[in-house]
Amino acid sequence: MEQKPVYYSEYLQLDKILNAQEPESTKAGIRADDEMLFIIIHQSYELWFKQIIHEVNIAREVFSKPQIPDNSPELMNVVHRLRRVGLILQMLVEKMDIIESMTPLDFLDFRDLLRPASGFQSIQFKQLEALLGLKFEQRHGQNYYTSQLNKEDIDRVKNSEKEVSLLELVINWLERMPFFDHASWAQEFDKHNSDHPFWQQYREVYFATLQPDERQNDVGFNMLFMNNQDYPAERRLSPEANRHALFIMLYRDYPLLQLPYQLISTLLDIDSLMGQWRSRHLAMVKRMIGSRTGTGGSTGAGYLKSAMDSHFIYKEFAELTSYLVQRNKLPKLDDSLEQKLMFSS
Ligand code: HEM
């Protein structure tokens, strides 16, 4: 059967998109020339949120597989898609300039007509946070972050919170990495003892690099990398995932670890860009409404600042940089492990 020729505006459903701007000021018979910009900018953000969620879901799907080789096309695909998420977020941060071209007085022309609607009701934003890995327990304003939503939308947010997040999948994947099994080390060790010979050796190297006023880092090191019993219960990364992530960061120059390193690095970029978006949005909000409460009923800038400070999702990866040492001090790896990391085994 011959395929019907595709027509540009039908394919893109432009009749729906271009007829989806209905300013409240027009309905109220009030002149507010900037409400069109306000609607279009929010709609375009929501479209980009949709694209980001699409990319994150593909990454989650790949990571749901029981096995993903470290140098596989699947892992390359994940890194590629998450990098794209970073690029989109970067553009969304910069796009704040456009909404900032609306002055506070221009906004006041129609602001009261919008109550109680607000970006606070953006389901996609809350879903994105949850799918990336933000837990309900970590949320600022747990009592009211869904307070302005209808029942159907609360269910949509709650369902996303029940899904296995990208962070959880990455943790499972990190745990499966066989760096510290017997086959990779010439030296004998008790596998029930979490003080693996590598970490004993690395601890000495690390301690030797500490400056006098950094000596307290040794307590953190012991807690995070040596003895599983002391590992902080509140950390999202499991002890194994934590050790494997630092190992990847340390030995990232080996071919097999380059993609895993890029993955961790891209997650950190995403966290940083989400933070930058929150920071730009907060600055814009302060300038636009000062100390007034938000149309969504939160304290406004106060709420946004606390959410910005507490909603970093991949911060435990960022904290690992405190435990790096310079390349020329890295312990030499056993030959068998080195060969595996060079793809030559
Ligand atoms: C004049 C421009 C804007 C103002 C004055 C403004 C104001 C606010 C305020 C005060 C809040 C806190 C919740 C509340 O309303 O009580 C908020 C939340 C939010 N806004 Fe905006 N906003 C503006 C533009 C935008 C744009 C263009 C977007 C893009 C989608 C956006 C997305 C969001 C999101 C996602 C939240 C929830 C943030 C969170 O829970 O961490 N806002 N906004």
Closest C-alpha among 110, 240, 225, 218 to residue 171: 240
Of residues 91 and 294, more confidently modeled? 91
> pLDDT tens digit string along 84-113?
999 999 999 999 999 999 999 999 999 999
Backbone angles phi, psi at 300, to 5 degrees: 85, -120
Cα-to-centroid distance, 93 and ligand 1 (Å): 13
What does the alpha-carbon distance between residue 100 and residue 283 come to, in Å, rounded to a whole number? 10
Is the distance from the beta carbon of residue 141 to the nearest atom of ligand 1 less than 6 Å?
A: no
Is the distance from the beta carbon of residue 296 to the nearest atom of ligand 1 less than 6 Å?
A: yes
Put residue 330 in one of left, alpha, beta given phi > 0 → left and psi -120 to 50 → alpha.
beta
Instruction: Evaluate whether 244 touches 174 at the Cβ level (below 8 Å).
Output: yes
Is the distance from the beta carbon of residue 119 to the nearest atom of ligand 1 less than 6 Å?
A: yes
Cα-to-centroid distance, 3 and ligand 1 (Å): 44
Element (H, E) at 56: helix 35-63
Ligand 1 atom having least distance to the Cα of 300: 10
Is residue 70's pLDDT more than 90?
A: no
- Residue 344 is predicted with a pLDDT of 46
> pLDDT tens digit string along 161-207?
999 999 999 999 999 988 888 778 877 777 666 678 899 999 999 99
What does the alpha-carbon distance between residue 38 and residue 143 come to, in Å, rounded to a whole number? 28
Is the distance from the beta carbon of residue 260 to the nearest atom of ligand 1 less than 6 Å?
A: no
Ligand 1 atom having least distance to the Cα of 92: 29
Element (H, E) at 30: none
Cα-to-centroid distance, 119 and ligand 1 (Å): 4
The DSSP call for residue 181 is S
What does the alpha-carbon distance between residue 255 and residue 305 come to, in Å, rounded to a whole number? 41
Note the Cα 210 to chain centre separation in Å.
30
Residue of 50, 102, 285 to mutate, ligand 1, most atoms within 8 A of C-beta: 285
Instruction: Evaluate whether 167 touches 241 at the Cβ level (below 8 Å).
Output: no
Closest C-alpha among 137, 158, 136 to residue 149: 158
Per-residue pLDDT band for 53 (boundaries 50, 70, 90) equals very high
Q: Hey, what are 151's tokens?
A: 């029942």
Cα-to-centroid distance, 92 and ligand 1 (Å): 13
What does the pLDDT average to over 205-234?
93
Q: Which domains does the chain have, with CATH numbers?
A: 32-341 (1.20.58.480)
Of residues 52 and 343, more confidently modeled? 52
